[in-house]
Structure 1
Amino acid sequence: MRFRVSHTTAYRSRLPVVMGYHLAYLTPRDCPGQRVRSHELLVTPTPADRAGHVDVFGNRFTYFCIEEPHVLFEVTATSEVEVSGRRRFADPQADWHSGVERATDPLLADFVAFSDFVTSSPSVRDYAALSFPPGRPLLEALEELNRRIFDDFAYDPGWTTVSTPVEVVFATRRGVCQDFAHLMLACVRSMGLAGRYVSGYLENRPPDGTDALAGADASHAWVSVLSGDGIWIDLDPTNGLVEPAHHITVAWGREYSDVAPLRGVVTAPGDPATLSVAVEVERIDYRSPRRHHRNPR
């Protein structure tokens, strides 16, 4: 199945911004079950300097510098991505402690340690531990934890910001996809498992007439947890999905700050800019079987 993704971010200010230095994580990855067919990144004004790079996690990102005064800064990423939906599944009977043993590999330290956005507490660990009794299969434990977050927390755009701590999300029982991804990472890391934050997209309007998933009109976030046999298991706690077949992966890292779609530093007079974001994900190949998902809350 092939998708066309268009992601436009625009900042408009009343007074001119003098210059800006930016990083864009807007190029989808080639990874198991996904192949990037084309990608284009358009920037207005035209950058004075621009270069593509690959970070330590294998994500492709673009650096660019704008050195002319401007009141409109706009970035549009357009991609065509083929998603096969054929992914490897972990052993469904493997004990979750096998994942803990695998996570002791020093190369996985970034995905085991807590961080600024992924913090833990006794209450978060106690919440997670309910799904991880001794001897329980990892996949079964993750499915239950994923479902509990989906059931226990309300999707509420505007309630949180990009810097809202996990403790606040846990206490208020509400947030958005970024918050629920950080919460689930805090849960699995508190159990000693390796988990990574995944940034990407969902289909806006499924052609079969089913409702769009929560978070479908913006960039989305979910998590991957490493099994004992070395397979990363994707989980979307915002929508209660395990191994979602048609999520489009852009980048992964320890937390949101590693893979924020667009960030940078500007020289400006202090006048606040107005931000607008538009994401469209269109299915352009209808020959693949229909997907099935639970409707969002």
Structure 2
Amino acid sequence: MTILTVNHVTTYTYDAPVRLGEHRMMLRPRDSNDQRLRVARLSIDPAPKNLRWIHDVFDNCVAIANFSGETQSLRVENYLELEHVPMEEPECLIEERALYYPFSYQSDEMPDLARCIERHYPDPQGKLDRWARRFVPQGKPIATAALLMTMTYAIKEGLGYQRRFAKGARAPLETLASGHGACRDFAILMMEAARALGLAARFVSGYIYVPDRDVEPGHLGGGSTHAWCQIYLPGAGWVEFDPTNGIVGSRDLIRVAVAREAHQAIPLHGRYFADDAVAGEMDVTVNVRRLPDDTTGVT
């Protein structure tokens, strides 16, 4: 078991006073068998008029803040401490009926998986279909785990990582055509490729631990929030696939939010109002660290 800490600070600055509208924050990790939250502290400056917590339609924990008065800055700091037990080797857990592709989900699974199987981006000329079918040998089955691992590594090795601070995510065909993208672009590409093969896929936002950045080649996506995808495999459940780093399983990944589409899992977003045009800047820092093995955490 590993104890990881996360310190995630987002700072907005404005060149004139503004009135802050509602801000929604998906910053609290999902408790599970492979990650258990021990400490969570959310600090907001200026302090909100009220702060409430809800669970959204995907059961993500969302903090909703409302403000009063004017300000020229907003600072949100999220500190976490959690136990992390990575789940790996999904091929050992997959039910026999799904060990080889193609396979079918059971009828009682389909109502809940259907929207995650549907294609979410247009592919009028079938370019993404053809790209996804490259990983499926003609006329014979292939091990499901091998198929998805190969696709994961193909994105990592075949496309260039490019950190991008602009809002939104690129369509899969745009990512393929450009030959590069950010972690969220790679996640969406793999999701849509998996959906093209009839598999249920969903988007994940969270953090990545970079284990010894100065000694080993670091994982890409460190120093900011990270994104990857999950694919539903009978017996193994929702399995993590990080095509940015070629990670299969939850090693070094901290899940915060899951959703059908990327825009449903934005870590922090909100609005501000002003009587005149106001320019604003955003700065984000994320530090993920491993505590010494003999550290006793606070409960």
Alpha carbons 1:96, 1:228 under 8 Å: kept: no
Write out per-residue CA displacement over residues 20-55 of structure 1, whole angstroms, 9 at most, x where no aligned residue. Answer: 111000011102311011111111111112101111
2:242 to 228, 232, 236: 236
Counterpart-to-counterpart distance in 1, 2:87 and 2:165:
36
Q: 1:151 to 1:208 in 2, by over 3 A?
A: closer
Aligned to 1:84: 85
What SS does the corresponding residue of 1:18 show, helix, strand or coil? strand
Per the alignment, residue 111 of structure 1 pairs with 116
Report the CA distance between 1:209 and its aligned residue: 3.0
Q: 1:161 to 1:264 in 2, by over 3 A?
A: closer
Partner of 1:221: 227
Match of 1:281? 288
Identity %: 26
The one-letter code of the counterpart of 2:174 is V
Matches within 5 A, 1:14-163: 14-86=15-87, 89=90, 90-91=93-94, 94-98=99-103, 100=105, 105-115=110-120, 118-120=121-123, 122-133=126-137, 134-158=140-164, 161-163=167-169
2:281 is matched by which residue type in structure 1?
T
Aligned to 2:268: 262
- How far residue 87 of structure 1 moved from its aligned partner, in angstroms, is 5.3
Of 168, 192, 199, which aligns to 1:193? 199
Distance 1:209 1:286, change over 3 A: farther
CA drift of 1:155 comes to: 0.4
State the TM-score, normalizing by the size of structure 2: 0.88
What are the superposed Cα offsets for residues 53-95 of structure 1, whole Å, 9 maximum, x if unpaired? 1111111110011121011011111110110124573338711
Q: Do the aligned partners of 2:88 and 2:250 also contact (CA within 8 Å) in 1?
A: no
Contact 2:203-2:228 within 8 A present in 1 as well: yes
Tell me the C-alpha RMSD between the 2 structures. 2.3
Kept after mapping to 2: 8 A contact 1:33/1:87? no
User: 1:204 Cα deviation (Å)?
Assistant: 3.9
**C-alpha distance in structure 2 between counterparts of 1:284 and 1:135, whole Å:** 44
Letter in 2 for 1:15: A
Q: CA deviation at 1:156?
A: 1.4
> Partner amino acid for 1:138?
T
Query: Shift of the alpha carbon at 1:230?
Result: 5.2
Q: Is the Cα–Cα contact under 8 Å of residues 35 and 82 in structure 1 kept in the other structure?
A: yes
* Deviation of 1:286 (Å): 3.7
For structure 2, list consecutive stretches of 5 or more residues without a partner in the other structure.
none
> What is the one-letter code of the residue matched to 1:130?
R
Aligned residue-pair number: 286
In structure 2, distance between residues paired with 1:205 and 1:151: 20
Give unmatched runs, 5+ long, in structure 1.
Answer: 289-297
